[in-house]
Amino acid sequence: MAMDRVETPIGTVAYRRTGAGAPLVLLHGGLSDGRSWTPQLESLAQEYDVVAWDAPGCGGSADPAADLRLADYADAVAALVRALGVGPVHLAGHSFGAGLAIDVYGRHRQLVRSLVLSGAYAGWRGSLPPAEVEARLNRALAELDRPPAEWVNSYLADLFGQSVPPETLEAVRTMMLDVRPAGTLSMLTAFASADLRAVLPTITVPVLLIYGAQDVRAPRPVAEALHAAIPGSRLILVPAAGHDVNLEAPQEYDAAVRAFLRTAGEPPGVPGGGFSSLGSPHVQAGDGAADDHALDLRSALEDGEVAGRVRS
């Protein structure tokens, strides 16, 4: 897919764009780039104008001239949205990109129509114990001094659950081999120091939280803390999936996003229990700061939006 570029206050940013419909902007996580959204660029473009950026220092975007704050990344996202003339947008982010999406809302809420947050943190400092933040930061800093080929495999096991197609692993490994120290270091330090907890209770747009049930990078207590703090949020746990849920379980991820975006302007949830059972497949769903509701994906499955079976 061809890439285009725009100028932002922190340099040239590259992006992929496809489809037609309501605008949906995708923000990738660390050690990756916009290619991490390949399944969604193919699937969700059937209904949405999908834009996947490369963060500064990643993929086709220019390296940052200096270390950036998370706020600088948020302002760059806002500059991209304004340059494309598409706001307000549905904003979906994964991991670092999910925290970034929260900060975009905090700084430019008029540009945000809804939030889809997968493997999300309120910044590392806002979601993890200080010792864990320090350990992650020190590990990454040490590895950036060595060629990526020497350390990428050590991360792959933390990103996925039980069963991942070899081609998915290879695609992620390829992206990780392409990381550049300038971009990675800037993202790492910005996110390690970020604490977005104060933003969470101020969010008034619809929010969908999606986590892999086997995520060891952003484990369940992290998910439940964000869910409790964001009013009216919906939480889905995808069985057997790990951190990179949009890549490991793209059919389930896309079905959840479609079901959510179609009702993003309506009151969230439907009455039900904390678990929604689809036979063998199931997800957990609920409304933050309120009684739990079930976001049932049965209709999406019956409508043929998901080919094959949800992993259980």
- List the chain domain ranges: 3-302
Band of pLDDT at residue 264, cut at 50, 70 and 90:
confident
Model confidence at 292, pLDDT cuts 50, 70, 90, reads very low
User: Residues 6 or more apart from 300 whose CB is under 8 A from it?
Assistant: 255, 256, 258, 259, 306
Mean pLDDT, all residues of the chain: 86
Indicate if the pLDDT at residue 226 is higher than 80: yes
User: Would you say the pTM of this structure is higher than 0.75?
Assistant: yes
Task: Please tell us whether the domain made up of 3-302 is placed in CATH 3.40.50.1820.
Answer: yes
Sheet with 112-118: strands ordered across = 3-8, 11-18, 48-53, 22-27, 89-94, 112-118, 207-212, 234-238, 282-284, 275-277
The predicted-structure confidence for 188-198, as pLDDT tens digits, reads as follows 999 999 999 99
Chain position carrying tokens 């769903």? 285
pLDDT at residue 181 is higher than 70: yes
Q: How many helices (H) and strands (E) does the chain have?
A: 12, 10
pLDDT at 265: 54
Task: For residues 204 and 214, give the distance between their C-alpha atoms in angstroms, rounded to a whole number.
Answer: 29
Higher pLDDT, 280 or 92: 92
Average pLDDT over every residue of 129-140: 97
How many other CB atoms are there within 10 angstroms of residue 185's CB atom? 18
297: confidence class by pLDDT, cuts 50, 70, 90: very low
What b/e readout covers 98-129, taking b as 16+ CB neighbours within 10 angstroms? bbbbbbbbbbbeebbbbbbbbbbbbbbbbbbe
Whole-angstrom distance, CA of residue 127 vs CA of residue 285 = 20
The percentage of the chain sitting over the pLDDT mark of 70, rounded to a whole number, equals 85
Whether 223 shows a pLDDT value over 70: the answer reads yes
> Mean pLDDT over residues 271-284, rounded?
31
Assess whether pLDDT exceeds 70 at residue 307. no
Q: Quick one: 296 exposed, middle or buried, by C-beta within 10 A (0-12, 13-18, 19+)?
A: middle
